[in-house]
Amino acid sequence: MCHGTFPGHIEGDGMPYITAADGAQIFYKDWGQGQPVIFSHGWPLNGDAWDVEMKLAADNGFRAIAHDRRGHGRSEQTWAGNDMDTYAADLAALVDELNLTDIILVGHSTGGGEVVRFAARHGAGRVAKIATAGAVPPVMVKKESNPDGLPIEVFDGIREGVLNDRSQFFQDLSESFFGINHGTGISQGQRDQFWRLGMQMSLKGAYDCIKAFSESDFTEDLKSLDVPFFLAHGDDDQIVPIADAALKTVDLVKNVQLKVYPGAPHGIAGEYQKALDADLIEFFKS
């Protein structure tokens, strides 16, 4: 469904883009009509990771929108701006271009941090509800003020994997991402899609985003939120452990509902996806 042409909206190649504050071209998809639901993807994916949820939302009377974060997917592979503040500002530019209000935000993993930062800094009067799944915690990296965090060496290892052989690294990462090593039974096709989306990302965007998701501190952002917040997390998440993330976030957010999915991994697939999607639609309609 075409919603018209907006300032900074490019249609020359048949693909919709908006122009960010620094001129970067940000790709987005826009399906259906109704109250807008913006889906923000995790690392190393892009907006296609939310296709099933977008169709489900549009089929249920919502306008489903998903963008590719800069450096990811079809968005511009910028050298600069691969940081959480700029990601949130890019999302604000999208909201401005499409003139969106009464927004429901949905973020997975890094996208959870992005929507929280956007809501706290740009979303006043615009955001109606927030949902996150497997979202990065208040702070991910271990430091003096966050002694329970993961050591910086963990993230240095991810950086090394991305630089040395990111194709193999993404193939290997899909095993713990989807809990295949714990018997979740996710298909080879879903693992292949994870790899495919990861390989569409720029090397610079992939590398810089590791710092963005691991070192950004969302504590004050979370404290400032007062809209209904649905906080979803699998209790077998090997990428963003629930004890360091949702179980800390729940104490910071005012109007929050925590839903723990037994045995669920980090990646949204299989039985976890079916259960989460049903809960998301219920939350959207509530």
Per-residue pLDDT of the chain (286 residues; tens, 9 = 90+): 444 434 444 444 557 999 999 999 999 999 999 999 999 999 999 999 999 999 999 999 999 999 999 999 999 999 999 999 999 999 999 999 999 999 999 999 999 999 999 999 999 999 999 999 999 989 999 999 899 889 999 999 999 999 999 999 999 999 999 999 999 999 999 999 999 999 999 999 999 999 999 999 999 999 999 999 999 999 999 999 999 999 999 999 999 999 999 999 999 999 999 999 999 999 999 9
Q: Which of 157, 180, 155, 160 is nearest to 267 (CA)?
A: 180
Secondary structure class of 226 (helix, strand, coil): coil
> What Å distances lie between residue 210 and 68, 90, 201, 202, 244, CA to CA?
16, 18, 13, 13, 17
So what's the pLDDT on residue 14?
Answer: 57
| Distance separating alpha carbons of residues 227 and 106, to the nearest angstrom | 13
Q: What is the CATH number of the domain that holds 99?
A: 3.40.50.1820
So what's the pLDDT on residue 2?
Answer: 43
Is residue 78, in this structure, part of any structural domain at all?
yes
Is residue 13, in this structure, part of any structural domain at all?
no
Where does 74-188 show beta strands of DSSP type E?
103-108, 127-133
The residues pairing with 66 across neighbouring beta strands, listed in sequence order, are 29, 39
Is residue 1, in this structure, part of any structural domain at all?
no
| Distance separating alpha carbons of residues 130 and 105, to the nearest angstrom | 5
Is residue 61, in this structure, part of any structural domain at all?
yes
| Distance separating alpha carbons of residues 115 and 105, to the nearest angstrom | 6
User: What is the token pair recorded at 178?
Assistant: 């989807």
Is residue 161, in this structure, part of any structural domain at all?
yes
User: Which amino acids are annotated catalytic?
Assistant: 109, 237, 266
| Distance separating alpha carbons of residues 237 and 219, to the nearest angstrom | 21
Q: What is the dihedral of CA 268, 272, 273, 276, to 10 degrees?
A: -110
Residues 6+ apart with CB under 8 A from 97: 6, 7, 8, 9, 18, 19
b/e per residue, 135-172, with b = 16+ CB within 10 A?
bbbbbbbbeeebeebbeeeebeebeebbeeebeebbbe
Domain, as residue range, for 79: 19-285
So what's the pLDDT on residue 148?
Answer: 87
| Long-range CB contact pairs, 151-154, < 8 A, 24+ | none
Is residue 12, in this structure, part of any structural domain at all?
no
Enclosing H/E stretch for 246: helix 246-249
Is residue 5, in this structure, part of any structural domain at all?
no
Fill in the DSSP letter of residue 237: -
| Distance separating alpha carbons of residues 114 and 17, to the nearest angstrom | 19
Is residue 10, in this structure, part of any structural domain at all?
no
> How many helices (H) and strands (E) are present in the chain, helices listed first?
9, 8
Q: Which of 38, 149, 36, 39 is nearest to 102 (CA)?
A: 36
Domain count within the chain = 1
